[in-house]
A and B are shown apart, each in its own frame.
Chain A
Amino acid sequence: MNLAAAITPDLVAGHGLRPAEFDSIVQALGRDPTLVELGIYSVMWSEHCAYKHSRPLLRTLPTRGERVVVGPGENAGVIDIGGGLCVAFKMESHNHPSAVEPYQGAATGVGGILRDIFTMGARPIALLDNLRFGEPDAPHMRHLIEGVVEGIAGYGNCVGVPTVGGDIMFDPGHAGNILVNVMCVGLVRTEHIRRGQAHGPGNAVLYFGSPTGRDGIHGATFASGELSEEALERRSAVQVGDPFMGKRILECTLELIERGLVVGIQDMGAAGLTCSTCEMAGRAGTGIEIDLDRVPQRAPAMSAYEILLSESQERMLAVCEQTRLAEVLEVCERWECGGVVIGQVTGSGRVEVHHRGEVVASIPANHLTHGAPVYHPPEAAPAAPEEFDLPPVLPGEDFKTALLALLASPTIASKRWAYRRYDHMVQIATVLRPGDADAAVLRLPGPGEPRFLAVTSGGNHRLVARDPRAGAALAVLEAARNLVCTGAQPLAITNCLNFGSPERPEVFGQLRRAIEGIAGACRALDIPVTGGNVSLYNESGGVAIPPTPIIGMVGLIEREEHITRPGWREPGDVIYVLGDPAAGLGGSELAKYLVGGDLPGVTPRGPLPPIAIDREVALLDAVRSAILAGLIRSAHDVSDGGLAVTLAECCLLSRGGHGAWIHETPDGDLALTLFGELPPRVVVSVRPADARAFEALISARGVACAEIGLVGLPGLRCADQAAISHSEMQQAHETPPWESLR
C-alpha cells in the first residue's frame, strides 16, 4: 500500500467515513489526514467504538446506584458487594468473526472479554455465552454450531475460567448472521480497581503480550482502489487466539496491579494499538507518544497502518512511572510476556505516532474519542404483529405429544451437548452448574460465613421481535426472575444489543424501543446498567436479524441456606404457580411448534399479552421474601414452553427423581394455561406444614398464588391428560438438536 496515497473521496468512503465526518477531521487537524490517520479515524469513529447511532439512546439507561463503583465507559462495570469485594462484569459480541471462522471467532471472543475484566484488576471467575443460530438441520449451520462451541471450550478451558451459563436459541432469522455474545464476571478488591487512563506526563507506555501481526486488519483498508493479490489474501487473515498467552497476560496484569506498579492499563481489543492509546489518553486528558519501530512484530516489513490497526490477540498496554519500570519489566519477564517500552505519556493532548523516523500520525486524542458525530436517524414504528386465534383445548394425547415435542425442540432441549464440553468446575467455586438451575451460583472467597454470587444471561428475541419495548423489558425481568429463583438479590445488569442496520428506520425504531424497555424495567427493579456493548449491522442478504438484546445480570446470595434449586424435593410438597394467569400464546414455543401444521389457522406471529411491570416486580419480591423466610423448597421460572415445560423440568431436575401430580389448572383453557409463557410466572414447591404461612406471605404482597398439585411419584400427570413418564421426558429433553430433526 502506498502510504503517501492521495486522500480521495473514494478512499474516505472506503474507510466508512461520511463527507461531513471527513470535514470535521480536516478541521481538527488543520490539514488533510494522512492515510494512517484516516485508518485511525475510520476505526475510532466506527459504530463499534464510537456508538454514533446508539449513544443518545444509551444515555437514557439508569447507570447510578449505591453499589456502582465504575459505570459505563470503562472496560467493564464494577459494583461493590461488601466486605471489601467488588464484582466486575461485562458482555461483548463476536458475531461477525464467528460467522467467518467459528472456532477462532468464538475463542477470541472469550479471550477479549476476559481481558476487559482483568484489565480492571479483577480475577475472572465465570464466563457465560449467549448463542443464536439458524435451525440446526442445515449442514453449514451444524459446522458453525460445532465450531463455536469448541472455540468457547478451547479458550475457556485452557485459560482456567469456568463457563457456567448462558443460553442457546435457534431461529431461521439468525441463519445468515449468527450471534456469539460472551459475558465475563470477575472479582476485585476495592483498592485494586484500575482504569484505562494514561495519567502523568513523562510516564512510560509499555507494551506486553503477543507480538503484532497482520491479523484482522480493518476491512475498510481494502476498499481502497489499490488492492493487490497479496492484500486480498491478507484480508482473510483472521485472529487466532492463544489461551496460554491469555493466561500469562492475565497473571502478569493482576500482579502488576496488585503490587501497585502501573498507573493505568488497557487491553488491545478491536482496533488494537490505536484504540488503546487514544482511549487511555482521551480518558485522562493527556497525550501519548509512541514509536512503532519498538512494537514487537510477528511479520516482517509491516507498515505503520498495519501495526496500528492490527487486531492481534493477547496484547496489553500499560502506563507506569519511570521509577517503577525495572520492577514492571521484571514481572513481564517472569510471566514470559515480553514487556517493551514503546513511548510515553505527554501533556500535549495529542496521540503522536512515529515510524521509521517520521511522524505518521498526530491527532488530538479528545477529538478521536469524543469528537465522533452523533446521528439521529429516522425511525419507524415496528409493524404490529398479526393476531391469531387461540388453539382449542388440547385433547389428552395432544398434550403429551406437544409437551414431548417442545421438550425436544432445539431451543428448549437440554444444552448438555454444549456445556458438557465446557469446564464449569475449574476454580472449584461453582455451586449451581449449567443445567442445574435458572442461574449459576458461585461461592465467593473470604473469611466468615460463605456468600454466593448468582449470574445469568439471556434474552428471548422472539418476544422482542413482536414488541421491542415489552420484549426487552421482559428480558431484564426474566434475568431477575432467574436470579431470584436461586435465592439471589439482583444487583446490576450489563447488556449486548444485537440489531440490524440503524440506518433502516424500522431497525432504529426497534433499538430505541428496546432500550426504553430495558431502562423501564431497570428503574422498576431499581438496578443499574453498568456497561455493555452494541452490535449493529447484523444483517445478511439485506435482511436484519430479529432484534436480540441480551441481558447479563449478577446477584448476591448472603446465606447458604437461601440457595434454591428448581427440582422437586420431597413427595407430598405442595406445588404452586405464582403470578397472573397466562394471557396469550403470542411469541410462545407452542405457537412456533404449531406452525408445523398441527393446528390450522395459527401463525407464529401474534402480539404479546400486555405486561404490567409493577406486578412482575411484586412477584419477584414475593418469591424472594418467601425464600428468605425459609418457606420455599424449590423454585423455577416459567419461560420457554410455558408451565408444562417448567413442570417437566422440575421433575427432571429432582434429585430424588420425584414427579408431579397436577390436579388443578387455574383457568379454563388448557393450552393457554399449560403452554402460555406470559405474563411471567414462577413454579414453587412448599412443605405442607408451611403452606398456610406461604399463602399468607404471597397474598399480602398482592401476588396471585394458585395451588395446582403435589410432588409425588416419578412422571408428570396433568389433570385428565395422559401421564408422561420420567424416561419419556428425559429422552425428549436430552436429545441433541440435530438428532431430533433427523
Chain B
Amino acid sequence: MPRFDAEVVVMPKPEVADPQGQAIEGALARLGLTGEVQARHIHVGKVFRLDLEASDRAAAEQALHTLADRVLANPNIETFQLKVSSH
C-alpha cells in the first residue's frame, strides 16, 4: 500500500480563551520584548506528524480526518488542519 507523510495542526478556536497564549503575551511584555515589534494575538497549538499507509490519498485523508476529529483535537475548543503528501 502507498505510504503518506501526514501532518495535523491543532489550534485553539479563535473565539475560545487561550490562557497559554495570553501568558506568553504577558511574558513578552515583562521581558521588555514588545518595544520595536508588537507581537499580539499569540495562540498556542500543537503539531502531529505521522506516517500513514492507505490505498490512496483520499483514503489517507479520510483516515487522518477521523483521527484528528476523534483523538488529536478536541472539537469543542480546537480546530485542525490536515496535510497529506506522498512519502
Cβ contacts under 8 Å, A299 to chain B: 14-15
Binds A, one of B19-27, B50-58, B60-68: B19-27
Query: What is the bound-complex CA distance between A245 and B18, given in angstroms?
Result: 12
Q: Is the CB of A104 within 8 A of B14?
A: no
User: Is B33 interfacial (CB 8 A cutoff)?
Assistant: no
Q: Is the CB of A215 within 8 A of B17?
A: yes
Q: Which of A25-77 contact B (CB under 8 A)?
A: none
Chain B interface residue bracket vs A: 10 to 19
Q: Is the CB of A242 within 8 A of B15?
A: no
Q: Is the CB of B19 within 8 A of A101?
A: no
User: Is A240 interfacial (CB 8 A cutoff)?
Assistant: yes
Q: Is the CB of A244 within 8 A of B17?
A: no
User: Is B16 interfacial (CB 8 A cutoff)?
Assistant: yes
Question: Which of A100, A213, A233, A236 contacts B17, CB < 8 Å?
Answer: A213
Q: Is the interface of B mostly helix, strand, loop or mixed?
A: loop
Q: Is the CB of B15 within 8 A of A101?
A: no
Question: Which of B13, B22, B76 contacts A242, CB < 8 Å?
Answer: B22
User: Is B74 interfacial (CB 8 A cutoff)?
Assistant: yes
Q: Which of A396-419 contact B (CB under 8 A)?
A: none
Known contacts: A236-B76, A240-B77. The answer to whether A213 contacts B22 by CB under 8 A is no
Q: Is the CB of A336 within 8 A of B26?
A: yes
Q: Is the CB of A213 within 8 A of B15?
A: yes
Nearest B-chain residue to A336, judged by Cβ:
B26
Query: What is the bound-complex CA distance between A239 and B16, given in angstroms?
Result: 7
Query: What is the bound-complex CA distance between A214 and B75, given in angstroms?
Result: 16
Question: Which of B14, B16, B23, B26 contacts A240, CB < 8 Å?
Answer: B16
Cβ contacts under 8 Å, A336 to chain B: 26
Cβ contacts under 8 Å, B74 to chain A: 101
User: Is A298 interfacial (CB 8 A cutoff)?
Assistant: yes
Nearest B-chain residue to A214, judged by Cβ:
B15
Q: Is the CB of B13 within 8 A of A244?
A: no
B71 to chain A, nearest CB (A): 11
Q: Is the CB of A312 within 8 A of B17?
A: yes
Q: Which of B1-52 contact A (CB under 8 A)?
A: 12-19, 22-23, 26
Q: Is the CB of A104 within 8 A of B76?
A: yes
Among B15, B18, B75: residue with most chain A CB under 10 A = B15
Q: Which of A203-218 contact B (CB under 8 A)?
A: 210, 213-215
B positions within 8 Å CB-CB of A:
12-19, 22-23, 26, 74-77
A positions within 8 Å CB-CB of B:
100-101, 104, 210, 213-215, 233-234, 236-240, 242, 244-245, 298-299, 312-313, 336
What would 19 more interface pairs be, CB under 8 Å, given A237-B15, A313-B17?
A: A213-B15, A213-B17, A215-B16, A233-B13, A236-B75, A237-B77, A238-B76, A238-B77, A239-B17, A240-B16, A240-B77, A242-B17, A242-B19, A242-B22, A244-B23, A245-B19, A245-B22, A299-B15, A312-B17
Q: What are 19 sample pairs from A and B whose C-beta atoms fall under 8 A apart? A: A101-B74, A101-B77, A104-B76, A210-B17, A215-B15, A215-B16, A215-B17, A233-B13, A233-B15, A236-B76, A237-B77, A240-B16, A240-B77, A244-B19, A244-B23, A245-B19, A298-B17, A299-B15, A312-B17
Q: Which 6 A-B pairs have the closest CB atoms?
A: A242-B19, A101-B76, A237-B15, A240-B17, A214-B15, A238-B76
